[in-house]
């Protein structure tokens, strides 16, 4: 895959964080620089022009106030108000990151992050950087001419998966709104990208918004944009994600997480096809194709009053349900081979294959995390195994934790809750080890603990 010609800077005093971010981003961008000392920022900004800067919130040992991150953010914005800055924060400092966004940051990521989230955040920030440059140059060139997203590789021969692709082919050429349903990790973002790339809008922007990661008080600003002075620290006019998606496709991931109070505002925009930035009296016409995704039961949410029925029918002209990996057993060998090639190349490992016993083991596993869990399992095995042929012992899953499940407790949520609880007990509350055992990021673990009341 051809790398994007962009310059990324990561500033963090944790060497492990710098290494992890550099490894991920160097697969996608031509230049990725790291710096552990924020005092060098002034010099770096004089010598270079970065498309995106990732900036930690805390530096001095023992200090967790986040004020250092805000200080350096303000230094950066004073030199270049157009600079795209993503804040790096710990789970407990999310409110600080929200404050940082009010002061000019465009996004934040929580460490330890999931690689997909990091890639998505930097990609969105880079798109905005390109848009800013083109506005400054007063050019009408499409922002995605240089950002053409390659059509994702489609891997799967199972009937369930082929049915999904057949539906994609039928709907892609239209402008119908699409609602993607499916469990976490089934590939909803991949299918959204595929629909866009097979549509008549493929030469325009595909703008992705993770609604679940947006704080309620930033929802309107992020989606609709704002004018300078619209609220404290709104230092410049800022286009929203909807305006950025004009003539292209807007992908709203985790759409079921939109607060009820904000659903009517989204509905109004979709009905009128125009958006009004915060602090403005002027509406801006928009022409977007909407793709939404969720892993929640929206019909149940409608019945319980948590999701507006009129918005539900607005976004679900066509519904595509993605099958879980346990219903795509025939696709597992192809997916394993695909991920083996990716990670042996990424980590400079010798070519690896997988034993027949290990493959049978993978095909019998229930995959609660679906394709994403399989991907992470193969990545772990490639990194940790010294063998050229991966064995069953190279793959460890959450089901290896002994969980006392009774016959009446086969509700998936209850199984997941008990599995997480068992892992917490096994590792005496060490959440880093729990997350590693379960094969998920710590952010995902925190969210699930909160969901099941295990964070008390």
Tell me the per-residue pLDDT of 127-138, one tens digit each, with 9 for 90 and over: 778 766 655 443
Tell me the per-residue pLDDT of 173-205, one tens digit each, with 9 for 90 and over: 999 999 999 998 899 999 999 999 999 998 888
Domain ranges, ordered by start, for the chain: 4-114, 148-321, 325-395, 397-456
CA distance 117 to 1: 19
| Domain 397-456: homologous superfamily in CATH | Homeodomain-like (1.10.10.60)
Tell me the per-residue pLDDT of 395-425, one tens digit each, with 9 for 90 and over: 877 544 444 544 444 566 777 777 787 777 7
SS3 (DSSP) at 62: coil
Closest among 87, 4, 75, 16 to 46, alpha carbons compared: 75
Q: Edge-to-edge strand order for the sheet containing 289-294?
A: 206-210, 249-253, 289-294, 178-181, 318-321
- Whose tokens are 């976490």? That residue is 184
Tell me the per-residue pLDDT of 44-55, one tens digit each, with 9 for 90 and over: 998 889 999 999
Helix intervals (H) in 219-369 = 219-224, 241-244, 260-272, 298-303, 309-315, 332-346, 356-364
CA distance 275 to 224: 6
**pLDDT at 296 exceeding the cut of 50:** yes
* Residues β-bridged to residue 253: 210
322: DSSP letter: P
pLDDT of residue 152: 72
Mean pLDDT of the chain: 83
pLDDT of residue 407: 42
**pLDDT at 143 exceeding the cut of 90:** no
59: DSSP letter: -
Sign of CA dihedral 32, 33, 36, 41: negative
**What tokens does 389 get?**
């042929």
- Whose tokens are 């050429």? That residue is 173
pLDDT of residue 195: 96
Which numeric CATH code is attached to 4-114?
Answer: 3.40.50.2300
Largest CA distance in the chain: 66
CA atoms within 13 A on the CB side of 236: 14
Q: How many residues comprise the chain? A: 456
pLDDT band at 292 (very low <50, low <70, confident <90, very high): very high
Fold match between 325-395 and 397-456? Answer: no
Which numeric CATH code is attached to 148-321?
Answer: 3.40.50.300
Closest among 389, 370, 325 to 381, alpha carbons compared: 389
**What is the rounded average pLDDT of the residues 241-269?**
91
Q: Which CATH class is domain 325-395?
A: mainly alpha
- Evaluate whether 177 touches 317 at the Cβ level (below 8 Å): yes
pLDDT of residue 431: 78
SS3 (DSSP) at 45: helix
pLDDT of residue 3: 79
pLDDT of residue 456: 54
């Amino acid at each position: 895959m051809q790398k994007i010609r962009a310059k990324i800077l990561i500033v963090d005093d944790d060497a492990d964080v710098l290494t992890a971010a550099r490894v991920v981003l160097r697969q996608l961008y031509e230049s990725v620089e790291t710096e552990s000392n924020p005092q060098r920022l002034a010099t770096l900004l004089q010598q270079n022009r970065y498309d995106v800067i990732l900036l930690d919130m805390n530096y001095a040992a023992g200090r967790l106030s986040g004020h250092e991150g805000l200080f350096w953010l303000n230094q950066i914005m004073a030199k270049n108000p157009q600079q795209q800055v993503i804040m790096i924060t710990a789970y407990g400092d999310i409110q600080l990151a929200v404050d940082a966004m009010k002061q000019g940051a465009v996004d934040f990521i929580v460490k330890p992050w999931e690689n997909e989230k990091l890639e998505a955040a930097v990609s969105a920030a880079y798109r905005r950087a390109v848009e800013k440059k083109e506005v400054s140059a007063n050019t009408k060139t499409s922002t995605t001419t240089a950002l053409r997203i390659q059509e994702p590789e489609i891997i799967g021969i199972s009937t369930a998966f082929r049915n999904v692709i057949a539906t994609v082919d039928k709907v892609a050429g239209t402008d119908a709104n699409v609602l993607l349903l499916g469990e976490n990790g089934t590939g909803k973002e991949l299918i959204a990208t595929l629909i866009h790339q097979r549509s008549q809008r493929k030469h325009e922007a595909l703008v992705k918004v993770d609604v679940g990661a947006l704080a309620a008080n930033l929802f309107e600003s992020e989606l609709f944009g704002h004018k300078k002075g619209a609220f404290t620290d709104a230092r410049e006019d800022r286009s929203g994600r909807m305006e950025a998606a004009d003539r292209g496709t807007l992908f709203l991931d985790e759409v079921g997480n939109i607060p009820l109070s904000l659903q009517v505002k989204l509905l109004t925009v979709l009905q009128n096809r125009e958006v009004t930035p915060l602090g403005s009296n002027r509406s801006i016409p928009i022409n977007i194709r909407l793709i939404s995704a969720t892993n929640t039961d929206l019909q149940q949410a409608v019945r319980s009053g948590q999701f507006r029925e009129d918005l539900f029918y607005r976004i679900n002209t066509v519904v595509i349900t993605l099958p879980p990996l346990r219903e795509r057993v025939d696709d597992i060998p192809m997916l394993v081979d695909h991920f083996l090639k990716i990670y042996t190349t990424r980590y400079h490992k010798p070519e690896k294959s997988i034993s027949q016993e290990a493959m049978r083991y993978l095909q019998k596993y229930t995959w609660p995390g679906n394709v994403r869990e399989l991907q992470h399992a193969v990545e772990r095995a490639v990194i940790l195994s010294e063998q050229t042929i991966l064995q069953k012992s190279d793959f460890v899953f959450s089901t290896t934790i002994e969980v006392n499940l009774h016959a009446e407790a086969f509700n998936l949520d209850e199984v997941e809750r008990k599995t997480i609880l068992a892992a917490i007990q096994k590792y005496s509350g060490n959440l880093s080890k729990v997350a590693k055992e379960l094969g998920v990021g710590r952010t995902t673990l925190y969210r699930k603990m909160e969901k099941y009341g295990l964070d008390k």
